[in-house]
Amino acid sequence: MQPFTKRVIEIIKAIPEGNVMTYGQIAAQAGSPRGARQVVRILHSLSAVHSLPWHRVVNAKGEIALQEEEARFMQSFYLNNEGVETDEAGRVNLERYRYIDTEQASDPDALQ
């Protein structure tokens, strides 16, 4: 397993219940600020194998980025069950629910 992939998995597993992180935020914290799409691929291919809390990852606008209606509903459902509110469009208020682990951030820009 590549170091970046391992780091992404660790970061996603560390997102506490009731919080979210963005794909770009995870990529930056893992050491690749331009690796958001790679985070998407890691989530898609390794979520089940590593029991990742995939529902705690949203796009930079705080939106649920999944295209399938059932998957969007499930992500919203899981987030709501953890106390994370989503609006009608499936957006999360990042100012309120974004998780920032200042001890783990390897890149100061990851805190944005």
pTM attached to this predicted model: 0.86
Look up the CATH number of the domain holding residue 82. 1.10.10.10
Q: Is residue 82 part of a domain?
A: yes
Domains identified in the chain, total number:
1
Reported as a single tens digit per residue, the pLDDT across 14-54 is 999 999 999 999 999 999 999 999 999 999 999 999 999 99
Reported as a single tens digit per residue, the pLDDT across 61-96 is 999 988 888 988 999 999 999 999 999 888 999 999
Alpha-carbon gap, residue 94 to 81, rounded angstroms: 17
Q: Is residue 105 part of a domain?
A: no
